[in-house]
Amino acid sequence: MSMPKSLFDKLWERHVVVGETPDAPAVLYIDLHLVHEVTSPQAFAVLDGRGLKVRRPDNTFATLDHSTPTLPANAKGELPFSTPGARRQVETLIANCEKHGIELLGLGDPRRGIVHVIGPELGLTQPGKTVVCGDSHTSTHGAFGALAFGIGTTEVGHVLATQCVLQRKPKSMRVIFDGALSPGVGAKDMALAMIAEIGADGGQGYAIEFAGETVRALSMEGRMTLCNMSIEAGARFGMIAPDETTFDWVKGRDFAPSGEAWAAALAKWRGLATEERAEFAKEVRIDASTIRPMITYGVSPDAAAPVCANAPAPRTAAEKHAADYMKLDAGRPFTEQEVNRVFIGSCTNSRLSDLREAAAVMRGRHVDEGVVALVVPGSEAVKRAAEAEGLDAVFVAAGAEWREPGCSMCIAMNGDAGAPGELVVSTSNRNFIGRQGKGVRTVLASPATAAASAIAGRIADPRPFLCDMKEDA
Amino acid sequence: MAFEPFKTLVSRTVVLAQDNIDTDQIIPARFLTTTSRDGLGQSVFYDWRFDEAGRPKRPSLFNDYNPDTHKILVAGSNFGCGSSREHAPWALYGFGFRAVISSDIADIFKSNALKNGLLPVEVDQTAHAQLLTTPDAEIAVDLEKLTVTLGEADIAHFEVEAFARQCLLNGVDPLGYLLKQTREIAAYEAKTA
């Protein structure tokens, strides 16, 4: 009898071109290579330097998201790039895509957006595929039962030239969530609770499969949020077995198989799930019914706690270092800490359901006068859909800014940033020192918590806001 | 990408006794709007090295050490966590570092560093503690014997993925190896098409 296999085992073995040996890693075939402007120029330069071509331009798609402005073009049609370097980076990708015959979902393209939002949206991301991108949040695509992982620029060059990467098979880990989520608690809170539990390096060297009834009950958007933050637990790979929720989501999208090909794909995808008694090197169980809305209070994503708690007093040197930077009043409730800015967006939380969640809190209310709130949709398609149902009007009426799609304040390299000392409640994924601007203090949270904090002018528990909405209805 | 072959490195250490030093500390995102690998060394740990006006901070670990004599960075655990930006090892290499020692180095950073002549060395807790508390120590990192030597004593043995080790010893990028697999790649494509 053969060993029961996990989703990860199956994805891995279906893509091995040359097996791993003690002397060399496996040569792993890549089905989908997503490219953006920040981590690709030096890879194209290596190709050009060696006179190499892109092996599979048909399996390579590029977009512009990190360095692009989120403010619209001026009357002359010129975009307000933050620096000449940002503009040059964008122009370089446009030129590289033209030269190598790569489809660019660029500026002005109705399909443009954050690379991890548009891959799934277009149906490029599919169960069973290997997906790479020069970006550590590529694990997002694992939500579809894909083997998706972030790579460095040298590896971007490898994939461009050979459609393969060299990779040793990591160990496997399963994180099982059981129980129903409480109202006002979502996938972002699950991710932060998980990272707090296992630590920022708890997944290092592992490929994580998220499983359990709570995960099965999540929408695709929620699953993407959860897989997105695998890297914040140190894991390059995060994945969820595909099921009817996945198939319903993929069906009918631009690049999804159709007709007979759909039936054939479906038959293949149904066989991907982890078999019973498949073994994992590490297993973690989390009771999801006890998770409350979560925020981070330190400078590493594992410094996370329920929003209704008090700011803890630092115990170690590292915690003291973080506390000195964050300047939250130890022993006082988080909900008394003043907020200067709120960012709703990023590859973690910029999809339509995220914007609906934020709008449900903001509808009929107003952002506190001391707060600047930015809402940045993940893609042109998300922006159109949100506008079609009037979410933009909700945000604008509440006093928030409604921007053009892009990574924006998550990485703060396009000019969107906080000012030194500001406290930012952000739906993004990293609270590192200076991540959202020099001296900026980042508190990570769900869209509902971020929106509630914008209204309150302090870090806020979103649940009372959501209860009000129910009573109004 | 050319870098110096790495065999044995004898140098002094710079110690950053802090855990979770992320890629945004190593090279802040505002320096990523470059289309080249060059020049990033000047911006490594920028916000730790320079004040608001862009003046070098003093005293400062990096501004007071000579990168010609201090090529080894010793850091707290989970070094290099965060993004996949290869700009982080490019910046460290550009500044003059040739090895980073920690108890635990983030996966993508490790993989990127190995491809760029910067040796990531993961040592056990005892050796890590010893190195963290001995700043400015002259040590030897031997990639052939896989040892870290302080004075006369081998204080740690470390592992490096075998293929990456060969590439580093020879100063070559693995692209050449991948390009030699073209026949296997074409066969895979034919089989799965």
Specify the amino acid at residue A161. A
Q: Dump pLDDT digits (tens) for A14-31.
A: 999 999 999 999 999 999
Residues of chain A with Cβ-Cβ distance to B78 below 8 Å are 200-201, 204, 234
**B79 belongs to a structural domain:** yes
Task: Count Cα atoms within 13 angstroms, Cβ side, for A114.
Answer: 30
Q: How confident is the model at residue A435 (pLDDT cuts 50, 70, 90)?
A: very high
For A46, A297, A401, the CA distances from A349, given in Å and listed in that order, are 34, 19, 16
H or E element that contains B23: helix B23-26
Contact of A453 with A342, CB cutoff 8 Å: yes
CB–CB contact B28 A434 (8 Å): yes
How many residues in chain B?
Answer: 193
CB–CB contact A435 B185 (8 Å): no
Q: How confident is the model at residue A428 (pLDDT cuts 50, 70, 90)?
A: very high
Give the nearest partner residue to B85 out of A39, A170, A435, using CB atoms.
A39
Q: Is the pLDDT of residue B30 over 70?
A: yes
Specify the amino acid at residue A258. S
Is B163 an interface residue toward A (CB < 8 Å)?
A: yes
β-bridge pairing B8-16 and B72-75: parallel
Q: Dump pLDDT digits (tens) for A276-300.
A: 999 999 999 999 999 999 999 999 9
Q: How far apart are the first and last CA of chain A?
A: 57
Is B170 an interface residue toward A (CB < 8 Å)?
A: no
**B1 belongs to a structural domain:** no
CATH number of the domain encompassing residue B166? 3.20.19.10
Q: How confident is the model at residue B101 (pLDDT cuts 50, 70, 90)?
A: very high
Interface test with A, best of B81, B92, B173, B189 (most A CBs within 10 A): B81
Average pLDDT of the residues in B179-186: 97
Average pLDDT of the residues in A80-93: 96
**B155 belongs to a structural domain:** yes
H or E element that contains A441: strand A441-444
Q: How far apart are the first and last CA of chain B?
A: 33
Distance between CA atoms of residues A85 and B30, nearest Å: 10
The beta strand positions in chain B, using DSSP E, are: 8-16, 72-75, 99-102, 119-122, 138-142, 147-150, 153-157
Average pLDDT, chain A: 96
Contact of B7 with B170, CB cutoff 8 Å: no
Q: Is the pLDDT of residue A470 over 50?
A: no
Q: Which residue of A has its CA nearest to B90?
A: A153
**B54 belongs to a structural domain:** yes
The residue to which tokens 């620029």 are assigned: A153
Interface test with A, best of B30, B92, B93, B167 (most A CBs within 10 A): B30
Domains with residue ranges and CATH for chain A: 7-167 (3.30.499.10), 296-472 (3.30.499.10)
Segments forming the whole domain that contains residue B113: 8-192
Is B2 an interface residue toward A (CB < 8 Å)?
A: no
Q: Dump pLDDT digits (tens) for A100-152.
A: 999 999 999 999 999 999 999 999 999 999 999 999 999 999 999 999 999 99
Give the nearest partner residue to B106 out of A38, A168, A234, using CB atoms.
A234
Distance between CA atoms of residues A425 and A456, nearest Å: 12
Q: Dump pLDDT digits (tens) for A248-259.
A: 999 999 999 999
**B3 belongs to a structural domain:** no
| Residue B51 to chain A, least CA–CA distance (Å) | 11
**B2 belongs to a structural domain:** no
Total Cβ atoms within 10 A of residue A443:
25
CB–CB contact B108 A136 (8 Å): yes
Residues of chain B with Cβ-Cβ distance to A435 below 8 Å are 24, 29
Q: Dump pLDDT digits (tens) for A157-200.
A: 999 999 999 999 999 999 999 999 999 999 999 999 999 999 99
Average pLDDT of the residues in A213-238: 98
**B143 belongs to a structural domain:** yes
At residue A351, the pLDDT reads: 98
Q: How confident is the model at residue A473 (pLDDT cuts 50, 70, 90)?
A: very low
Phi-psi category of residue A110: left, alpha or beta, with phi > 0 → left and psi -120 to 50 → alpha: alpha
CA torsion A380→A384→A389→A392, rounded to 10°?
70
**B131 belongs to a structural domain:** yes
What is the DSSP annotation of A256-321? S--THHHHHHHHHHTT-SPPTT---SEEEEEEGGG---EEE-SSSTT-EEETTSBPPPP-SHHHHH
For A29, A47, A196, A295, A461, the CA distances from A366, given in Å and listed in that order, are 51, 52, 32, 22, 16
Give the nearest partner residue to B82 out of A86, A170, A430, using CB atoms.
A430
Average pLDDT, chain B: 94
At residue B4, the pLDDT reads: 81
Alpha carbon A171 to its chain's center? 23
Q: Dump pLDDT digits (tens) for A325-342.
A: 999 999 999 999 999 999
Contact of A378 with A351, CB cutoff 8 Å: yes
The token pair at A353 is 């359901």
What is the DSSP annotation of A85-145? HHHHHHHHHHHHHHHHT-EEE-TT-TT-B-HHHHHHHTT-S-TT-EEEESSGGGGGGGGGT
**How many domains does the structure of chain B reveal?**
1
CB–CB contact A17 B28 (8 Å): no
